[in-house]
A = this chain, B = another copy of it.
Amino acid sequence: MSIVVVGSVAYDTIETAHGGVTEALGGSAAYFAIAARFFTPVSIVAVVGADFRPEDLQLLAERGIDVRGLELQEGKTMRWHGRYHEDMNRRDTISVELNVFENFAPTLLPDQCRCDYLFLGNIKPGLQARVLEQVTSPKVVGGDTMNIWIENAREELIKLFSRLDLLTLNDEEARQLSGEHNLVKAGRAILKMGPRTVLVKRGEYGVLQFSKEGMFAVPAYPLEDVVDPTGAGDAFAGGVMGFLARHSRLTESALRTAVVYGTVLGSFVVEKFGLQRLADLSFEEVDQRYRAFIELTDSHYSRWISQ
């Protein structure tokens, strides 16, 4: 089944101790869509300015991403400028120019309104709700959020939670939202706020999944070189939703496999700046790393021993 994703498409300027890129294609919807497209058709809902480069549109379209919902407005495409610390887990936002994204009022096309899988990328909770209202009867709804909305639009955000099958957020956001420092407590507290599944992203430490069925803990794929973490969380979400949409079910076992595929997609993103690596990637590579990951985390050999 196909997915509709709403979120940002932006030009990112990224600095790390080892280099950087200037005004490279980025944004949560771009990372999400390319990752999810490995599994299933994806339709993107976002806004860009008159300066959006044709080659960037082509990059998305060439991968078979439906870009009819990429609204072109007068003005400039959103800009984000970030700088990572030596320790890649931390970054500072140097500047954000919302530009055309400031007045983004997403309107879905008629066929998008009938979608089964919907992902509400990290935008204002009010806009996420507005998108959700337009979809007739979605089977699975996922959503992401960030510190600004937890701080400034908490009520609207939580109101949305009972509609979410899947909420992704990072460890700091989980702590902020729940008021609990311990992530197990935080995850369980957020689960009680309404989402059917909560995925807490811990960067290089992996993911904790919380659902009624219990917890699932996965380490990150261990990498020798982390070049740029930007977009890894969005690609993770894309991998998770993509796998679920492809297999059309939301069982605990499908979720776990989806989370591993998401982890694998995220691990590729950080290997190069921006979405260069994701754009290069083949499904063979994804599947190969999925197998490597399973081997890397397999404590089941154990069963041979205990007998």
The residues of A with any CB-CB pair to B shorter than 8 Å are 86-87, 181-185, 188, 202, 205-206, 208, 214-220, 222-226, 247, 252-254, 256-257, 259-260, 293-302, 304-306
Contact = CB atoms under 8 A, between A and B. Distances in A.
A298 B296 contact: no
Contact of A218 (B225, B252, B257, B297): B297
A181 B184 CA distance: 28
A256 B300 CA distance: 8
A254 B303 CA distance: 10
Q: Which 7 A-B pairs have the closest CB atoms?
A: A253-B301, A257-B302, A217-B219, A205-B205, A184-B222, A184-B224, A260-B299
Nearest to A293: B299
Given A214-B295, A256-B299, 11 more contacts: A182-B224, A214-B296, A216-B297, A216-B298, A256-B301, A256-B302, A257-B299, A257-B302, A260-B299, A294-B302, A297-B299
A226 to B, nearest CB: 7
B305 A247 contact: yes
A96 to B, nearest CB: 29
A257 B305 contact: yes
B300 A298 contact: yes
A296 B253 contact: no
Contacts of A247: 305
Given A182-B226, A222-B184, A297 B252 contact: no
A56 B298 CA distance: 39
Nearest to A223: B184
Contacts of A217: 219-220, 222, 296-297
Contacts of A298: 216, 256, 300
Given A208-B222, A217-B219, A300 B301 contact: no
Contacts of A185: 224
A215 B206 CA distance: 16
Nearest to A226: B182
A5 to B, nearest CB: 23
Most buried by B among A215, A256, A296, A299: A299
A174 to B, nearest CB: 13
12 contacts: A87-B181, A182-B225, A188-B224, A217-B297, A254-B305, A256-B302, A257-B301, A259-B299, A260-B299, A294-B299, A297-B299, A300-B300
